[in-house]
Amino acid sequence: GAGVSQSPRYKVAKRGQDVALRCDPISGHVSLFWYQQALGQGPEFLTYFQNEAQLDKSGLPSDRFFAERPEGSVSTLKIQRTQQEDSAVYLCASSQESVYGYTFGSGTRLTVV
Amino acid sequence: KQEVTQIPAALSVPEGENLVLNCSFTDSAIYNLQWFRQDPGKGLTSLLLIQSSQREQTSGRLNASLDKSSGRSTLYIAASQPGDSATYLCAVSQGGKLIFGQGTELSVKP
């Protein structure tokens, strides 16, 4: 596709519910990143894939967060047993190579009530 | 651990003014630096990308500089317009990922 597509755009979850956020990167982009952005803050790194391999998951805040990219294209970020502190915008980015920079999607705004 | 700081946190200027946004980083071993714009409720739009070997990049009314040795970058916006109102984020690429500053929220008054 022409850009990075994320769905849903907005998600309201009750505390304790599981959620799944989808990212469809630019076709041919090898690298895919997930970031979490709290209100008024800069994005914080969560995890990074190169093709289907998850090379860095050091930013995942707890074992309730899980990300996958089984075929090296679409990625899903799953949050189990959501908590209020999980409320944030979740941004996905893809890159052909670092030298070309990163392209971000519009994000998914998650609100846990 | 790399830390990226942006000053000021917020800036309000009248239309037509030239302005400078500042970004500093603690570890100079970066691959590149990227400036983004974020409108309320939206994702990030890439403005300028500066490779670590470069000193500056220009696009229209925007000019970004990079001084890797001192750990600083500036984004210069000429003849500001109300449509420039947004949050501006700088990010350094290191270890295969981007590390962001907190952003500068810019308001350009007509």
Predicted confidence (pLDDT) per residue in A23-36, tens digit: 999 999 999 999 99
pLDDT beneath 70: ranges in chain B: none
SS3 letters across chain B: CCCEEEECCEEEEECCCCEEEEEEECCCCCCEEEEEEECCCCCEEEEEEEECCCCEEEECCEEEEEECCCCEEEEEECCCCHHHCEEEEEEEEECCEEEECCCEEEEEEC
Is the CB of residue B51 less than 8 Å away from at least one CB of chain A?
yes
Q: Does position A52 have pLDDT exceeding 70, yes or no?
A: yes
- pLDDT value of position A4: 95
The pLDDT-based confidence of A98 (bands split at 50, 70, 90) is: confident
Q: Do A43 and B97 touch (CB under 8 A)?
A: no
Q: Are strands A108-112 and A10-13 parallel, antiparallel or unpaired?
A: parallel
Q: Do A107 and B42 touch (CB under 8 A)?
A: yes
Residues 5-44 of B with CB under 8 A from A: 6, 31-32, 34, 36, 41-44
Mean pLDDT, to the nearest integer, of A98-109? 88
Q: Which of B32, B91, B97 sits opposite A56 (nearest CB)?
A: B97
Give the model confidence (pLDDT) of B35-50 as tens digits.
999 998 888 999 999 9
- Integer Cα distance of B7 and B106 in angstroms: 11
Q: Which of B43, B49, B97 sits opposite A45 (nearest CB)?
A: B97
Q: Does position A1 have pLDDT exceeding 70, yes or no?
A: no
Closest CA to A92 of A28, A29, A25: A25
Q: Which residues pair with B19 in a beta bridge?
A: B77
- pLDDT value of position B91: 96
Q: Do A104 and B44 touch (CB under 8 A)?
A: yes
